[in-house]
Amino acid sequence: MAGLLEHIETPLLLRNLRREQLHLLSAELRQHLLTSVSSTGGHLSANLGTVELTVALHYVFNTPEDRLVWDVGHQAYAHKILTGRRERMPTLRQTGGLSGFPSRAESAYDAFGVGHSSTSISAALGMALAAQQKGIPRKVVAIIGDGALTAGMAYEALNNAGVSACNLLVILNDNDMSISPPVGALNHYLAQLMAGRFYATARDLGREALKKAPPLFEIARWMEQRAKQELSRDTLFEKLGFEYTGPIDGHDLDVLIPHLERLSRAAGPQFLHVVTQKGKGYALAEKDPVAYHGPGKFDPKVGLVPSAKPSAATFTQIFGDWLCDMATHDPRLVAITPAMREGSGMVAFSQRFPSRYHDVGIAEQHAVTLAAGMACDGLKPVVAIYSTFLQRAYDQLIHDVALQNLPVVFALDRAGVVGADGATHAGMYDIAFTRCIPNMSVICPADENECRQLLTTAYQQNHPVTVRYPRGAGVGRPVAMALEPLPWGKAEICRPGRKLALLAFGPLLYEALKVAQALDLTVVNMRWVKPLDVAMVREMAQTHQGLVTLEEGSKMGGAGSAVLEALQAMSLTTPVLCLGMDDVFIEHGDPASLMKQIGLTAAGIQQALLARWPALAQPEQSTVVPLKKAS
């Protein structure tokens, strides 16, 4: 027998259903989510927790004319399914397929493109003010999680919206979680508003007891709402100018829909606090929502199983091990993360050194300035942050750290291509935007052993340093456990050759070596974007017909640009070919296929070289110099 979901191609068809049918639709939608995400990988826990809320929003509001703005987008898969993209879910986060986040280019129902958190209220307020100015009676809804509400930008928007008098509804989806476990005073404040597990548990127990007596059940429901209203008076949100409602059960359609219908008719800024459970409906995700936040492919009947031990350690693991080892060696070390403990490899550190571990929530700006303050008073901060998230604290990076020349180490995970998360998470820009800052140094380790060595090198400095490394495993090079640094600012010739010198910044060194072996070229492991080893650049320029720079980052302003600037300063005119990421956004897909598409595989690099220097294809009457193993 056909279900309801397969007939819902647009929210208009959803709104034609009877209210009692929405419960069945929600169950089908939750099952479809589990089936889809387990077969493709993606964000699961958050999406399972917003099924009923998504159904209720599209049932009440006239989307897409009314605007729904999803914060981050981790919770928007159900929204995608209900807005005509159900059949394309098997392509989720794959090359040419659906984005893992809302995208204006993908659907008219995606009112705002997102990927980073805490932007929804600002964007929704902008839309509400535009509708007000144009005289359009449009409803605008921002849906934001309690984790995203830790960011300062959310409060800047709330502060502005509270005095705007425009018709804006902010929905706080309180699931007592972000990606990592919740932190900070805000979480405690929301708990005081009866959010979280205590409220949900008490509600469920009371409901089961009273369902046997329907009149008492309805009276209890009315008393529950009145009690919550009394307990929630004069909330922070009301002080900011919003009419506050809640907290209410975000999984109870019979509660959600009447509240949303009333709020859809209300004028002025409104705030609805809903309580949901991350991973709702899938027991394994309910039990461990962090593990099921963004899983790869898995069998829903079995759940996540430990993967086979990789042949090489990931750069993230290398960083986590180094952090613990250096903290044991130096009691001044403190570690800071903006809500990315698991993703940045800091779980062991947080357990071994809890007093020196600081998870500041989704607050990158605060994280950087917090590190600056610690450095001012003699501590040695290490900020573990994804390349894409450091962008959010650029002012603090310049003014609070670099301008004062403070010794802060920035461990930049996910530098370069990131794969399925797509354009919003690509680590393309950090070389360009950090190397232009005075006092900053920029390091690009080529492999896991070098990553550990260069982290130590960076830590020993008395000025700010970024160490950038990619997502995933290295090449399998053995890692020396000693905390030994490498010489400051010195590149290394890994393979002597002729005609061209390949200057590799980061893990592309190993692709460069493959090309060099085939064409008998010189390969240099540059390691340092800033300070650039100018002496090495001069030597290579004076002894070769051309130079080729290789970097997994933006070519504009990147490491290749640094080499060109150095040659210009030395009045050298050696031809240079810069290979890296072009002036386009890198969309989602398999990392290997994306690297091939960008042209940063050995085959792509060789093709680019032969296109620029066709004579390289001609055989030489000489012996190829044997490959020298990198030290």
Domain assignment of residue 328, yes or no: yes
| Cα 386 from chain centre | 7
Report the C-alpha gap between 498 and 123 in whole angstroms: 55
Domain assignment of residue 219, yes or no: yes
Look at residues 244, 268, 287 and tell me which one is the last residue of a structural domain.
Answer: 287
Asked if residue 301 has pLDDT above 90, the reply is yes
- 334 and 457 co-located in one domain: yes
Asked if residue 345 has pLDDT above 60, the reply is yes
- 254 and 398 co-located in one domain: no
- 591 and 456 co-located in one domain: no
- 328 and 375 co-located in one domain: yes
Residue 499 identity? K
Report the C-alpha gap between 389 and 155 in whole angstroms: 19
Assigned token pair, 156 = 């800047």
Query: Which residue, chain included where needed, has tokens 């709104």?
Result: 15
Asked if residue 1 has pLDDT above 50, the reply is no
Report the C-alpha gap between 193 and 199 in whole angstroms: 9
Query: Given 203, 221, 392, 435, which residue is catalytic?
Result: 392
Domain assignment of residue 630, yes or no: no
**CB distance 285 to 160 below 8 Å:** no
- 227 and 96 co-located in one domain: yes
Q: Verify whether residue 87 is a known catalytic residue.
A: no
Question: What is the pLDDT at residue 177?
Answer: 57
Percentage of the chain exceeding pLDDT 90: 81
**CB distance 182 to 176 below 8 Å:** yes
Domain assignment of residue 623, yes or no: no
Asked if residue 201 has pLDDT above 60, the reply is no
Q: Are strands 380-386 and 357-359 parallel, antiparallel or unpaired?
A: unpaired
**CB distance 195 to 174 below 8 Å:** yes
What are the pLDDT digits (tens) for 229-261? Answer: 554 457 889 999 999 998 999 999 999 999 999
| pLDDT band at 196; cut points 50, 70, 90 | very low
Average pLDDT of span 369-377: 98
Cβ-Cβ contacts under 8 Å for 119 (sequence gap 6 or more): 71, 112, 153
Q: Verify whether residue 380 is a known catalytic residue.
A: no
What are the pLDDT digits (tens) for 351-368? Answer: 999 999 999 999 999 999
Give the CATH number of the domain where residue 49 resides.
Answer: 3.40.50.970
CA distances from 281 to 25, 50, 67, 391, 447 (A): 14, 11, 28, 36, 42
Question: What is the pLDDT at residue 207?
Answer: 55
Q: How crowded is the C-beta side of 436, counted as CA atoms within 13 Å?
A: 9
Q: Verify whether residue 527 is a known catalytic residue.
A: no
- 432 and 503 co-located in one domain: no
If you ran DSSP here, which 8-state letter would residue 586 be given?
-
Residue 35 identity? T
β-bridge mates for residue 501, sequence order: 522, 547
- According to the 3-state scheme, what is the secondary structure of 244-296? EEEEEECCCHHHHHHHHHHHHHCCCCEEEEEECCCCCCCHHHHHCCCCCCCCC
Report the C-alpha gap between 276 and 173 in whole angstroms: 7
- 41 and 100 co-located in one domain: yes
**Residue 234, helix vs strand vs coil:** coil
What are the pLDDT digits (tens) for 599-631? Answer: 999 999 999 999 999 999 876 654 444 444 444
Asked if residue 176 has pLDDT above 80, the reply is no
Query: Given 67, 93, 221, 278, which residue is catalytic?
Result: 278
Report the C-alpha gap between 591 and 588 in whole angstroms: 8
Structural domain including 139 reads 20-287
Buried b (16+ CB within 10 A) or exposed e, 442-473: bbbbbbbbbbbbbbbbbbbeebbbbbbbbbbb
Domain assignment of residue 406, yes or no: yes
- 382 and 441 co-located in one domain: yes
- 458 and 509 co-located in one domain: no
Domain count for the chain: 3
**CB distance 335 to 358 below 8 Å:** yes
Please report the sign of the dihedral spanned by the C-alpha atoms of residue 286, residue 291, residue 293, residue 298: negative
Domain assignment of residue 308, yes or no: no
Strands laid side by side in the 492-495 sheet: 492-495, 522-525, 500-505, 546-554, 576-581
Question: What is the pLDDT at residue 478?
Answer: 85
Look at residues 241, 271, 287 and tell me which one is the last residue of a structural domain.
Answer: 287
Beta strands in 78-175 (DSSP E): 140-145, 168-174
**Residue 470, helix vs strand vs coil:** coil
Query: Given 52, 224, 364, 492, which residue is catalytic?
Result: 364
Domain assignment of residue 631, yes or no: no
Q: Are strands 441-443 and 409-413 parallel, antiparallel or unpaired?
A: unpaired
Question: What is the pLDDT at residue 297?
Answer: 93
pTM of the predicted protein model: 0.88
Give the CATH number of the domain where residue 516 resides.
Answer: 3.40.50.920
**CB distance 315 to 468 below 8 Å:** no
- 183 and 60 co-located in one domain: yes
User: Which phi and psi angles does 393 have, rounded to 5°?
Assistant: -125, 35
User: Which phi and psi angles does 447 have, rounded to 5°?
Assistant: -150, 180
- 30 and 72 co-located in one domain: yes
CA angle in degrees (0–180, nearest 5) for 425-430-433: 130
**CB distance 42 to 420 below 8 Å:** yes
If you ran DSSP here, which 8-state letter would residue 108 be given?
T
What are the pLDDT digits (tens) for 548-588? Answer: 999 999 999 999 999 999 999 999 999 999 999 999 999 99
Look at residues 434, 468, 502 and tell me which one is the last residue of a structural domain.
Answer: 468
Question: What is the pLDDT at residue 73?
Answer: 85
**CB distance 372 to 401 below 8 Å:** yes
| pLDDT band at 224; cut points 50, 70, 90 | low
- 539 and 410 co-located in one domain: no
Query: Which residue, chain included where needed, has tokens 């359009």?
Result: 136
Q: Angle of helix 315-329 relative to helix 448-459, nearest 10 degrees?
A: 40
What are the pLDDT digits (tens) for 460-504? Answer: 999 999 999 999 888 888 888 889 999 999 999 999 999 999 999
Question: What is the pLDDT at residue 186?
Answer: 59
What are the pLDDT digits (tens) for 423-443? Answer: 999 999 999 999 999 999 999
| pLDDT band at 147; cut points 50, 70, 90 | confident
Report the C-alpha gap between 309 and 331 in whole angstroms: 32
Question: What is the pLDDT at residue 375?
Answer: 98
For the chain, the average pLDDT equals: 90
Asked if residue 266 has pLDDT above 90, the reply is yes
Question: What is the pLDDT at residue 230?
Answer: 52
Asked if residue 330 has pLDDT above 60, the reply is yes
Report the C-alpha gap between 362 and 338 in whole angstroms: 5
Domain assignment of residue 139, yes or no: yes
**CB distance 71 to 50 below 8 Å:** no
